[in-house]
Chain A
Amino acid sequence: QVQLQESGPGLVKPSETLSLTCTVSGGSTSYAYWSWIRQPPGKGLEWIGYIYHSGSTAYNPSLESRVGISIDTSKTHFSLRLSSVTAADTAVYYCARQMYSYDSGAYSNWFDPWGQGTLVTVSS
């Protein structure tokens, strides 16, 4: 079964770029959507964006100007970049497989599985 694992620096300085990688094991990134979701300490979930295996992307409009998601051609991992970070970007960052489709006039959208999450703190 597919498992995901986030990795990257746990501390980023303000105004710098946050970079995380999600490694997919037990399967490849082919034929699926792969997403990043974050959760500030003590708060709820915020979708950041997804990348399809073909490389097409969609981002949360509130973050679109600062975010980029890429996928490795080896199809074993995908990455997140978030630029010009501030303390408000401090959060646990999760990667997840996003099941997304449109059928009979309705969107189906859900996330499974999730990585264990990695805390990124923005501080000087």
Chain B
Amino acid sequence: QSVLTQPPSVSAAPGQKVTISCSASSSNIGNNYVSWYQQLSGTAPKLLIYDNNKRPSGIPDRFSGSKSGTSATLGITGLQTGDEAVYYCGTWDTSRLNAVFGGGTKLTVL
């Protein structure tokens, strides 16, 4: 059971937009910044978003992040088949004193 809750799967057609939610409690998302990671099949996770909505160099602006209260959202526009992956949210949990992740959301581009 992950501390952060994500939907197990989402799907959309190429070119469309999809959002992935991540929710939890005030001891983690509510008071701290959220990051997002993309894990392509058989590879290590890759940072997509940090500090709720900042993109590292090299990440296209098709990827965006937002946070409201105890929930965060990853948005992906102009979906491509290469975006098929598992997406994880993460943050710091102040009460547990450790980094926590969501259970992951598998994105299928139909």
Q: Which residues of A contact B (CB under 8 A)?
A: 35, 37, 44-47, 49, 58-61, 94, 98-100, 105-117
Contact = CB atoms under 8 A, between A and B. Distances in A.
A44 B98 contact: no
A82 B33 CA distance: 29
Contacts, number: 79
Nearest to A50: B99
B96 A45 contact: no
B47 A47 contact: no
A109 B35 contact: yes
B46 A109 contact: no
Contacts of B32: 106-109
Interface of B: 2, 31-33, 35, 37, 43-47, 50-51, 56, 88, 90-92, 94, 96-104
B98 A107 contact: no
Given A109-B90, A114-B45, A116-B43, 15 more contacts: A44-B103, A45-B104, A61-B97, A94-B45, A105-B31, A106-B31, A106-B32, A106-B33, A107-B31, A107-B91, A108-B50, A109-B32, A109-B92, A109-B99, A115-B44
Contacts of B99: 35, 37, 47, 60, 98, 109, 111
A124 to B, nearest CB: 27
